[in-house]
A and B are shown apart, each in its own frame.
Chain A
Amino acid sequence: MTELLTSAELFGNVAPLLAHAADFAEGARPEHSATYGWLLLFTPLVGAIVIGLTWKKVSDRAAGLIGTAAIFLAFGAALACFAQLMGMDPEERHILAGYTYAQAFGVDFRFDIYIDQLSVFMALVVTGVSAMIHLYSVAYMKSDAGYHRFFSYLNFFVFSMLLLVLAGNLALLVVGWAFVGAASYLLISYWYRRETATAAGIKAFVINVIGDVGIVVAAYLLWTELGTLTIPSMLANAEDAFTVAPSPEYTAAALLLLVGAFAKSAQVPLHTWLPDAMEGPTPVSALIHAATMVTAGVYLICRMHPFIEISETATLTAAFLGTATLLIAATTALVQTDLKRIIAYSTMSQIGYMIAGAAAAAYSASLFHLMTHAFFKALLFMSAGSVIAAMASNQDVRRMGGFRKAMPFTYVVFTIGALTLAGFPFFSGFFSKDEIISYTLHRGGAFTVIAAGMYIGAILTAIYSMRAVFLVFHGEPCDEAKQLEGGELAHGSPVNPATGALEDTDVGFPGPDHQIAEREGEMRTAMSVLAFLAVVAGAVQIPGVTHLIESWLEPVFEDSRYAHDIPSIATQWIGLGVGAAIALTGIAIAYWTYVANRGVSERLATRFGRLHELLSNAWYFDRIYDAMIVRPASAIASFCNNVVERFVVQGIVEGATGAAKSGASRIRSWQSGLARVYALSVIGGTTIIAIYFLVLAK
């Protein structure tokens, strides 16, 4: 483990910022130099700053190109890191470099980046998908007034995600965590003139901060046990922690890490912010709420796997909550009418798979699913964006229909995405999801129940994903579709569905003209690349044939207890078979209800009215939190304001002045101005004192 020794003390009192700059330039020994890592990390930040600063001087298109170029550069740097690691012998493929950030009393809070297989894998996925989304956004956001601001925030987001992924110090990971939260706040409330967007923004930010606090306290507990916050040395010290029975600190730390992971990956208790986050522009949903940010929780669990594995309770909690999210989200998605919210709930459910899989120690399987999910979910959001653009920013599925002929490219690409999501055989989703299920099944014991839940989820996923396809593209074309077939896009002043307020287009929120994939080259290239990857990516992990990801990540997870306890090739293939059957039945059911006889879903909705109500309100979570947290908080606030402040706090002030005033008035009244009254009090005083001395004399 190499470490940069130059800390500020060594430099004496030369301006410390100089020391800070020297750290970068010099780097450690040549072959382990972290320059690629620093390049990878800081390119997006530079991009964000450049776009931010040249806000007046550079044209919109140029800003978009700078942003996209920065991310492509970052992707190149990630590839360079990958190559550099490949060049090193497999056993010690990790580089740690950085400077002392805030170190005192044993709390080694260092600004370190840690490049190893897992972080490079994540960096590749993040920068890759982000590059595609940036390309897509160059076209999609063309008519938006806040173009520069959008790309600057987007680049800043990629920088913070890379900081999170590359962080070599748990405290620095929290910093990356919070930056990602801040970037998502800025991008959710990007159209800051919409009340619903800003409300969703603050909700996402606060829940994210709760996650931060969880990790900070977990960091403290791990620091007391392991004595350091630097991740590589924490993992190294973790070995000897296995031998001894896990102390309560470990369980608490593991659970708190889960709190952080669940807040970020929108798992059940802390998930309510994700559907509201759809208020942001569609590329934001594609990037943040599908491909990168929500997967940070999975990354955290994989990175900190020894500490999760140690405590039995933590693994079971993660598994059961993951499955619960999986089922709740899948069922809710069945009845959603907003296209983006269907995809948002599907994201929640797919991440449920990854978290449950990671809990079952199927780390490489979860990460594989994370990669494929990034591809097809980004694709789905992009195509949804294209459809929404066609619908003049109206996202209500019930008003859509028959876009098959009007938007052939989007139809094909959307269907590929939906099929991959459904687990259609030989698409990438099929391989990754079923690998998780077979690993979980193999784990046995309580995990069989988890696997069963996963299979049920698989059917529901197939149904709701194809439902979206059939509702949007099949059936007789709606009037927007007819106009599109006639050649021009539908126009109309968009109204915010929740509040009914007219959208304010001069600050953001695309104005009358929209961009659909059929007409924009960049959108098409980005979507076709992802469509290709969604179909082909499965080849990376065909059981028995290829296991690129597993072998690449193997050294990272070899210290896990179940590292070599993997199901045999045959069982995996059987799993795939079962998965294929389930996917096809799901697709058939969807076809039967939404294409063959369209009235069925309405009849079902009326018959099971209460169930429909439950699902469409996302199991009433929002209402519960509102009653449990928001309302009591404002009640306490008003109590403090009216009661405590007026009586206790001002009471001290009023009480003192009141007492003084009454004392003063009594003395003034006693001062009647009559000589005989004074004489009386003099004589009275004298007698009292005389009596006092007489008493003394006794």
Chain B
Amino acid sequence: MNSALTLLILLPLIGATIAALAPVKQVGQIAAVMTLVQIGFLVPILIDFQVGVELQAYVDEIWIEELGIHYALGIDGLNIFMVALTVFAWAIATFWAATKEWEQPRMFYAMLALAEAGTIGAFVAQDLILFILFFDLLLIPFYFLIGMWGEGDRRRATGTFMIYTLAGSLLMLVGAVAYGVISSYQNQTEISFLLSDLAAAPVGGSTQGWIFAGFALALLIKMPIPPLHGWMPITYRSTPLPVLVVLSAVVAKLGAYGFLRVVLPLMPDAANNFQHVLLVLAIIAIIYGSVMAFSQDEARMVVGYSSVAQIGFVLLGIFVLDAKGAEGALLQMLNHGIVVVGLMLVIGFLAARSNSERLSEMGGLARSAPIFAVMFLIVALATLAMPGSANFVGELYIIFGALSDQFVYGAIATIGVPLAAVYMIRMFQKSMHNREHAEGRSRELNATEFGLLLPAVLAVLALAVYPQFVVERIEPNAEFTVEAYQPSTAVAGGGGAAVSKEADE
């Protein structure tokens, strides 16, 4: 039984228990060090990952015999980088949390670790019910993280977040069980929730429609996509920043990942019928997110709504049902994750310098902080997908994918690009340039702050210089997920494929 992935899921918990044994003062540091152990554990998996469609490090044990639920885990192009992003974001979040004082620290780091275990589990799960189980499990730790250590009206925030997200995912649970039962009934196969089995025995006819609706609702709430993002403003305001790093950068990706892993392969007809609905939602998300982002005063809300706009692009990439779109979406999910980690750190440092998170109360912080200004600029330019960053490559593929199948949607979506420039440069400018605010004090990044921000900036630069490392590993899986939708075998740029293929060999 290849236990690599199970160990990967349990490692955070082991780390947290070891940290819990330490005296109260050192719990944070030890928890942070344990995240490095995780990175060390993940790197060999990343290195010897073979480009290709089939699952690797595959585990499949029967869990609940009567319901056909398997404990199945696997790594492939779709989730390898999501797992890497999870481990990366959590490491930085834990190190950042370690620099702060928390009440009941043992419980805080235990909850942070449980959230990570849930997220990794959700990404590597290859069984539908197991996916939903992890999908909901990670909500519990966030409930405590936001409720106990949050700010402002945190009880209402954590309640709203929990119930809003869970109501959606419970509907998805009904959809999932229905899919399993009906598929075993229609295809006379023994009931099993293994994704490969379900894909082999799809559910036909109209039932696929309302199951799709159940799934779409839950995943759209998670991404979040307007108008289902009601929980986002109140939750983002109350979540402590280190937790917000992982909530916004990684957990939001589960929604998009759910579409690629579950909805597209299992419900092709429904995806086709609902395609235009989802595309319209994506366009709304892009425009609504951007418009809201450039009119917010709180820095968190700017990043929050900018994530809504970026996730709108990812949704667009997914639902143009074209290989290029899926490729772009997967790449954007990774890029957006890295960039949001950087942005949240920047918000924390800005707030520390002008003890308020409102852009109107910031200004001129670049004065004696050139390194901070340059690093913030790199992250900001990557966020607005400036050509040269890997985000641009992602958006290029999404726009190429969109234009090749749904020209109108692709054309409208391009409005999002200049809007992104507006809200990101506005944020950079309002905080860094112009005159200082009354009590704002501009000072350079100290060692810890620099150490925290550096990995995110280096990741952005590394991907900007050589995105092929990621693009190559995603390609087969992006093609596989949307295989059912290819109208004809020839890819739109017919000649293109031929020319570039022979150029490659």
Contact between chain A and chain B defined by CB under 8 Å: yes
* A217 CB within 8 Å of chain B: yes
- Of B229, B466, B501, most buried by chain A (CB within 10 Å of CB) is B466
* Contact across chains for B231 and A653 when beta carbons are under 8 A apart: yes
The interface residues of chain A lying within 8 Å CB-to-CB of B493 are: 106-107, 223-224, 227
| A residues 193-228 touching B (CB-CB < 8 Å) | 193, 195, 198, 201-202, 205-206, 209-210, 212-213, 216-217, 220, 223-224, 226-228
Q: Which of A104, A198, A637 is B472 in contact with, Cβ under 8 Å?
A: A104
* Contact across chains for B499 and A105 when beta carbons are under 8 A apart: no
* Contact across chains for A195 and B468 when beta carbons are under 8 A apart: no
* Contact across chains for A202 and B425 when beta carbons are under 8 A apart: yes
* Contact across chains for B414 and A217 when beta carbons are under 8 A apart: yes
| B residues 206-242 touching A (CB-CB < 8 Å) | 226-231, 233
What band does the interface of chain B fall in when counting residues whose beta carbon is under 8 Å from A? 35 or more
The interface residues of chain A lying within 8 Å CB-to-CB of B387 are: 171, 174-175, 177-179, 212, 216
Chain B's interface: helix, strand, loop or mixed, by majority? Answer: helix
Stretch among B94-102, B122-130, B197-205, B286-294 lining the A interface: B286-294
* Contact across chains for A192 and B366 when beta carbons are under 8 A apart: yes
* A652 CB within 8 Å of chain B: yes
* A553 CB within 8 Å of chain B: no
* A189 CB within 8 Å of chain B: yes
* Contact across chains for B429 and A108 when beta carbons are under 8 A apart: no
What band does the interface of chain A fall in when counting residues whose beta carbon is under 8 Å from B? 35 or more
* Contact across chains for B468 and A100 when beta carbons are under 8 A apart: yes
The interface residues of chain A lying within 8 Å CB-to-CB of B288 are: 640, 644
- Nearest CB on B from A173, distance (A): 9
* B313 CB within 8 Å of chain A: no
Q: Which of B229, B381, B471, B501 is A182 in contact with, Cβ under 8 Å?
A: B381
* Contact across chains for A192 and B472 when beta carbons are under 8 A apart: no
0/1 string, A611-655, CB within 8 A of B gives 1: 000000000000000000000011011101100110011111100
* B393 CB within 8 Å of chain A: yes
The interface residues of chain B lying within 8 Å CB-to-CB of A641 are: 292, 295
Q: Which of B229, B403, B421 is A649 in contact with, Cβ under 8 Å?
A: B229
Nearest-neighbor residue (CB-CB) of A639 within chain B? B291
The interface residues of chain A lying within 8 Å CB-to-CB of B465 are: 17, 20
- Nearest CB on A from B391, distance (A): 11
* A16 CB within 8 Å of chain B: yes
A106-B491, A653-B230 known; A16 vs B468 contact (CB < 8 Å):
yes
* B504 CB within 8 Å of chain A: yes
* Contact across chains for B468 and A103 when beta carbons are under 8 A apart: yes
The interface residues of chain B lying within 8 Å CB-to-CB of A178 are: 386-388, 392
A192-B432, A198-B433 known; A13 vs B47 contact (CB < 8 Å):
yes
Nearest-neighbor residue (CB-CB) of A174 within chain B? B387
* Contact across chains for A228 and B496 when beta carbons are under 8 A apart: yes
Stretch among B186-194, B258-266, B394-402 lining the A interface: B394-402
The interface residues of chain A lying within 8 Å CB-to-CB of B393 are: 101-102, 109
* B454 CB within 8 Å of chain A: no
In the bound complex, CA of A108 to CA of B501 (Å): 9
* A142 CB within 8 Å of chain B: no
* Contact across chains for B370 and A640 when beta carbons are under 8 A apart: no
* B350 CB within 8 Å of chain A: no
Q: Which of A106, A217, A504, A650 is B411 in contact with, Cβ under 8 Å?
A: A217
In the bound complex, CA of A178 to CA of B388 (Å): 8
The interface residues of chain A lying within 8 Å CB-to-CB of B499 are: 106, 108, 227-228, 233
* B76 CB within 8 Å of chain A: no
0/1 string, A143-162, CB within 8 A of B gives 1: 00000010000000000000
* B475 CB within 8 Å of chain A: yes
A9-B504, A212-B417, A653-B231 known; A102 vs B411 contact (CB < 8 Å):
no
The interface residues of chain A lying within 8 Å CB-to-CB of B370 are: 55, 149
26 pairs from A and B in contact (CB 8 Å cutoff)? A13-B49, A16-B469, A20-B466, A102-B397, A102-B467, A102-B471, A103-B471, A103-B500, A104-B324, A104-B472, A106-B491, A106-B496, A107-B493, A107-B500, A149-B370, A175-B392, A179-B388, A193-B434, A198-B433, A198-B434, A212-B387, A226-B495, A227-B496, A507-B367, A644-B226, A651-B230
